[in-house]
Amino acid sequence: MDKKFNVSVLGGGSFGTVLANLSAKNGLDTYLWVRDSELALKINSESANRDYHPELKLSKKIFASEILSECVCNADLIFIATPSSIIENVVDRIKPLIKDDVVLISCTKGLIGKPTRTITDYIKDQLMEKPALERLGVLSGPNLAREIADEKVAGSVIASQSQHSKDLVINALESKIFKLYSSNDIKGVEYAGALKNIYAIGCGIGYQLNIGENANGLIISRAMAEISQFAVHKGAKPITFLGLAGMGDLIATCTSKLSRNFSVGIEIAKGLSLDDASQKIGQVAEGVNTLKIVYEEAIESNLTMPILSSLYTIIYQNQDSKSLLENLINHRDQLDVKFE
């Protein structure tokens, strides 16, 4: 695909910034929507987003703006990389502005509750008959933004029913340091990315309590069992969780202090409240909100998820962090894998 196209990234946070830079370094005119006019001016004048990546020199082909219409009206490819808490507002605002043939890709690893929906579920509900609905997709994988900014090798999965959408994303982002794989399982890739944040909090707790590598392996593997159980219940394909968007992302997020959710877990195990831990991290940890949404549906659907339940009582009911491992050991379930 030699034809140039316009890219827009909505969200000038940690991941949105490196995503825009990958696109721009591939020679594409890239708009970066941020909510703060001062930040937009600084990014354009300094070629840097010092709020998130002070050492990263951004491509001159990035143009930052706080004016949403300026960023989306002429975009052929739009990446949505905002926190899940503002997704509904953002989608509502871009709906009348986007081109009919635009490719929309969600990069937000969160969920919307009551009823439990993925970000693309919500976008589908809002777009309804718009042609862009057919080109919807998800980008997810082990993508710690700091490492991508430092030009360390990473990979991700682009999931869509549209081959055109997958091709466009691969052409926009793939480089010598960023490898892309494709999938048709939008639900699986999206649920994998959202749910692993919950369990990264648990692994952060385990790290701070010095539970050891064996116990950490226990938590990660049982976390994958719970994630896949819930996601398959919601319509995902089991095989997806063996791949980069599933196990790959879970391992990276559950073992790195660069993960916001892992870091929140560390602070909670130190005795900080959820509010204090979140304030200390200084960025949105999506797993906190996702935990509440998934816990409520698991109860309603009679799904057995002991790690999830323990994390809920620790974070929302002030139970001792040490109960995480104790509850897992005492749980009576002895079957390792529950689906084929």
Task: Give me the catalytic one of 130, 196, 234, 280.
Answer: 196
- Cβ(72)–Cβ(66) below 8 Å: no
Beta-carbon contacts of residue 32 (< 8 Å; ≥ 6 apart): 8, 9, 12, 16, 17, 20, 43, 62, 63, 64, 65, 71
| CA–CA gap between residue 104 and residue 131 (Å, rounded) | 11
- Cβ(90)–Cβ(126) below 8 Å: no
The DSSP 8-state label assigned to residue 49 in this structure reads B
| CA–CA gap between residue 232 and residue 234 (Å, rounded) | 5
Beta-carbon contacts of residue 155 (< 8 Å; ≥ 6 apart): 141, 142, 178, 179, 180, 181, 244, 248
Beta-carbon contacts of residue 318 (< 8 Å; ≥ 6 apart): none
Cis peptide before 83 (omega within 30 of 0): no
For 101, the token pair is 């043939």
Catalytic residue list contains 179: no
Q: What amino acid positions are annotated as catalytic residues?
A: 196
